[in-house]
């Protein structure tokens, strides 16, 4: 189970970063929540629709085809996987969006149902915030 959860967590983050909403839909529950920790505008609980909208926007807002994750550490226990990662991307304006992350991903029936996300929220606000509020 822990090996499967690590593989699913990796595929989930890769699909999200690549803007592959079709793949992402197969890896998550319909009631998934992503809780972005912090006090910036982007810090909130994101629902399925918001997650899919942001995922689908990555290829259009980046010149690098989305966010490429480098996985530093993955630790699995029970129904969760902790992931330490770096993300690399270039916005279409040429601005670099390179962030550091810690994800705590929870599973239900083999799919991602909840993720707590820790990152530089000020940087995320500056680059991604406008896409979260887009209709």
Sheet arrangement for strand 80-88: 45-46, 28-36, 111-119, 99-108, 80-88, 68-77
> Domain residues of the chain, as ranges?
2-132
Fold of the CATH domain 2-132: Nuclear Transport Factor 2; Chain: A, (3.10.450)
Which tokens belong to 94? 């040429």
Per residue of the chain (135 residues), what is the pLDDT tens digit?
A: 687 999 999 999 999 999 999 999 999 999 999 999 998 888 999 999 999 988 888 888 887 788 999 999 999 999 999 999 999 999 888 888 899 999 999 999 999 999 999 999 888 888 777 666 553
pTM of this prediction?
0.91
């Amino acid at each position: 189970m822990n090996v499967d959860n690590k593989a699913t967590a990796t595929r989930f983050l890769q699909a999200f970063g690549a803007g592959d909403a079709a793949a992402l839909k197969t890896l998550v529950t319909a009631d998934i929540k992503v809780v972005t920790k912090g006090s910036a505008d982007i810090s909130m609980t994101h629902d399925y629709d918001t997650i899919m909208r942001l995922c689908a926007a990555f290829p259009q807002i980046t010149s690098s085809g989305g966010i490429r994750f480098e996985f530093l550490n993955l630790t699995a226990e029970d129904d969760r996987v902790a992931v330490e990662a770096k993300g690399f991307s270039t916005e279409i304006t040429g601005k670099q969006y390179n962030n550091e992350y810690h994800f705590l991903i929870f599973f239900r029936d083999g799919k991602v149902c909840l993720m707590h996300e820790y990152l530089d929220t000020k940087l995320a606000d500056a680059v991604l915030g406008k896409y979260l509020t887009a209709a």
